[in-house]
C-alpha cells in the first residue's frame, strides 16, 4: 500500500479524521476533504505521511470532479476512496420537511455516488482499487424519528452492493462499513437533540444510546477505522456491509 493515493471525504473530524490518520499510518498519501479548512489542517497535523488539504462541500454537483482533478494533477489517480462525509437528522415523520429529506439524500447518498462514479474509471483501467463507504447500522434497520437518514443509508448500501457486483472482476472492491453510535461530535448532537426533546439529562441520553449496543458502550472512531482498513487491505471482500455496532445488528 505504500504511497498509494487515498481520498477521504468527511476528514475534518470524528470518524473521517481517524480513518485518514489510519490510512496515513499505513503508508498511503491521503487527500483530505471537508468544508472546514482549519479542521482539515488539524487532521493533517496528526497524519504520519503526505497529505493534501482540499476544502470542499461534497454536496456541490461539481465537487467530485474538482477534487479528483486536483489530486490527479499532483499525485495521480485516486486508488483508495473512502466516502466518509455524512450527517444525521432526527424528527417525527410529519415534521420532516422536504428540505430535511433532500439534505439527507444529497449528503449521504448522492455525494458518495458522485465520488464513486468519478473514481471508478481510473481504478478499472488500473485493475486495482478500493472503495469504502461509511454507512450506518441504519442501513439495515428502521428506527423511529430518523426516516430521512435511514432512507439515505439504505440507499447508499444499495449503491455499494450494485457497484461491487459490477466491478467484481476488475480488481476493484466496494464495501460499506456500518457503525452504530460512535463517540463523535455527530453523536453529541444526537444527545443534545434527545435532551431538548425529552427533558432527560445529557448523561441519561448518552446512556440510552450506549444501551442500544449489546456491548454497553459507544463505538470508538478507531474501531471504525480498523474496519475500513480491513476493507482496504482485503482483495476478496467486496459487496459487504461490515457492522461495527457492538452486536446490535446480527
- Just list the catalytic residues: 149
- List b or e across 168-199, with b for residues whose CB sees 16 or more CB atoms inside 10 angstroms: eeeebbbbbbbbbbbbbebbeebbebbbeeee
Residue with the three cell numbers 471504525:
224
Nearest partner of 19 among 42, 41, 47, judged by Cα = 47
Three-class DSSP category at 248: coil
Phi, psi for residue 214 in degrees, rounded to 5: -55, -25
Query: What is the Cα–Cα distance from 209 to 207, expressed in whole angstroms?
Result: 5
Amino acid at each position: 500500500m505504500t504511497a498509494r493515493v487515498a481520498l477521504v471525504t468527511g476528514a475534518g473530524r470524528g470518524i473521517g479524521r481517524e480513518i485518514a490518520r489510519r490510512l496515513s499510518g499505513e503508508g498511503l498519501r491521503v487527500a483530505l476533504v471537508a468544508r472546514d479548512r482549519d479542521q482539515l489542517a488539524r487532521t493533517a497535523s496528526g497524519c504520519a505521511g503526505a497529505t493534501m488539504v482540499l476544502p470542499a462541500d461534497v454536496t456541490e454537483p461539481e465537487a467530485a470532479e474538482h477534487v479528483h482533478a486536483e489530486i490527479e494533477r499532483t499525485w495521480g489517480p485516486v486508488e483508495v476512496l473512502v466516502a466518509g462525509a455524512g450527517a444525521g437528522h432526527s424528527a417525527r415523520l410529519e415534521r420532516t420537511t422536504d428540505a430535511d429529506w433532500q439534505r439527507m439524500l444529497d449528503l449521504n447518498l448522492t455525494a458518495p455516488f458522485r465520488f464513486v462514479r468519478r473514481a471508478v474509471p481510473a481504478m478499472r483501467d488500473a485493475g486495482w482499487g478500493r472503495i469504502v463507504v461509511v454507512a450506518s447500522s441504519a442501513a439495515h434497520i428502521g428506527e423511529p424519528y430518523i426516516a430521512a437518514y435511514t432512507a439515505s443509508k439504505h440507499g447508499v448500501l444499495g449503491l455499494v452492493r450494485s457497484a461491487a457486483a459490477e466491478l467484481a472482476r476488475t480488481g476493484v472492491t466496494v464495501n460499506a462499513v456500518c457503525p452504530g453510535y460512535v463517540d463523535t461530535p455527530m453523536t453529541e448532537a444526537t444527545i443534545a437533540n434527545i435532551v431538548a426533546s425529552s427533558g432527560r439529562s445529557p448523561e441519561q441520553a448518552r446512556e440510552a444510546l450506549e444501551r442500544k449496543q449489546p456491548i454497553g458502550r459507544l463505538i470508538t472512531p478507531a474501531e471504525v477505522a480498523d474496519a475500513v482498513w480491513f476493507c482496504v487491505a482485503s482483495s476478496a471482500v467486496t459487496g459487504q456491509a461490515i457492522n461495527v455496532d457492538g452486536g446490535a445488528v446480527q
